[in-house]
Amino acid sequence: MRIGVDFDNTIAKYDRLFAALAVEGGLLPCAPEGGKTAVRDAVRALPNGDEEWQHLQAKAYGARMAEADLSAGFSRFVARCRARGLPLFIVSHKSARSQIEPTGPGLRAAALAWMESKAFFDPSYFGFDREAVYFEDTRAQKISRIRDLHCTHFIDDLVEVFEEPDFPDDVLGLLLTSRDDGADPANVVRCKCWNDVTLQLLEPLAGHAA
């Protein structure tokens, strides 16, 4: 097994941060229920909402990235993978800078700094090598990287990644989402949380070892 993992909204979670930014900026009177998606929909419904949403994204993924949360259950998943000696890679579709705020902080640099603050590169904690973290300019390049890394499994919060025609047929996709709607591609398994991912991928291994 060689496991690839998306970054934004899969490892790093932004529900609280986007709500805070929208309220701080006077776009919303209070945080709506439903996390980042609810904030996005509410902001986009405002006059000039699409542009306002893009500015919020630039802040969340740039200057305020340090306030993003680590997804619950991810630490346990990584610990289980390390215990079994399974290779892990982070593959993210993330541009170097925001198009709407091109002079703002570098988005990739902000993500790496966040990982550093969460001990991603600490051998005694998450144990990621910096060379195992890949940022790609386009979704097509992200999929190409997944193929080049010979991933057998890939975890993402966007079903659109798995629906791409070039997504490898021999890679099992794990869709990390709390929603239960729509039909998924044949090679995709839905997981509501990281604990579900751990059960899908690693518990069968434990049973086999026994």
Q: What is the pLDDT of residues 126-176, one digit of tens each?
A: 999 999 999 999 999 999 999 999 999 999 999 999 999 999 999 999 999
CB-count burial class (<10 Å; 0-12, 13-18, 19+) for 52: middle
**Distance of alpha carbon 74 from alpha carbon 194, whole angstroms:** 6
CA proximity to 57, closest of 71, 73, 74, 40: 40
Residue 183: predicted pLDDT:
72
Q: Are residues 36 and 74 in the same domain?
A: no
Residue 181: predicted pLDDT:
72
Q: Are residues 153 and 113 in the same domain?
A: yes
Residue 180: predicted pLDDT:
76
**Distance of alpha carbon 13 from alpha carbon 69, whole angstroms:** 5
Q: Are residues 21 and 8 in the same domain?
A: no
Q: Which domain, by its residues, includes 90?
A: 3-13+68-209
Residue 208: predicted pLDDT:
44
Q: Are residues 29 and 116 in the same domain?
A: no
Q: Are residues 75 and 179 in the same domain?
A: yes
What total of structural domains would you count in the chain? 2
Q: Which residues contact 15 (CB under 8 A, 6 or more apart)?
A: 35, 36, 39, 69
At 152, which CATH number? 3.40.50.1000
Amino acid at 88: L
**Distance of alpha carbon 162 from alpha carbon 144, whole angstroms:** 13
Neighbours of 114 (CB within 10 A): 19
- Using the 3D structure, point to which of 31, 47, 66 is the last residue of a domain: 66
Kind of pairing between the strands at 88-93 and 3-5? parallel
**Distance of alpha carbon 145 from alpha carbon 186, whole angstroms:** 21
Residue 142: predicted pLDDT:
98
Q: Are residues 85 and 135 in the same domain?
A: yes
Residue 210: predicted pLDDT:
33
Q: Are residues 41 and 88 in the same domain?
A: no
Q: Are residues 121 and 97 in the same domain?
A: yes
Q: Give the SS3 label for residue 180.
A: coil
User: Can you give the pTM of this predicted structure?
Assistant: 0.92
Residue 116: predicted pLDDT:
98
Residue 204: predicted pLDDT:
65
Q: Are residues 22 and 100 in the same domain?
A: no
Residue 186: predicted pLDDT:
86
Please write the tens of the pLDDT for every residue from 188-197.
999 999 999 9
Q: Are residues 9 and 107 in the same domain?
A: yes
Residue 111: predicted pLDDT:
98
Chain position carrying tokens 């079994």: 84
Asked whether the beta carbons of 90 and 5 are under 8 A apart, the reply is yes
Low-confidence ranges of the chain (pLDDT < 70): 204-210
Asked whether the beta carbons of 32 and 38 are under 8 A apart, the reply is yes
Phi/psi for 153 (5° steps) reads: -140, 145
Q: Are residues 172 and 187 in the same domain?
A: yes
Q: Are residues 52 and 150 in the same domain?
A: no
Residue 206: predicted pLDDT:
52
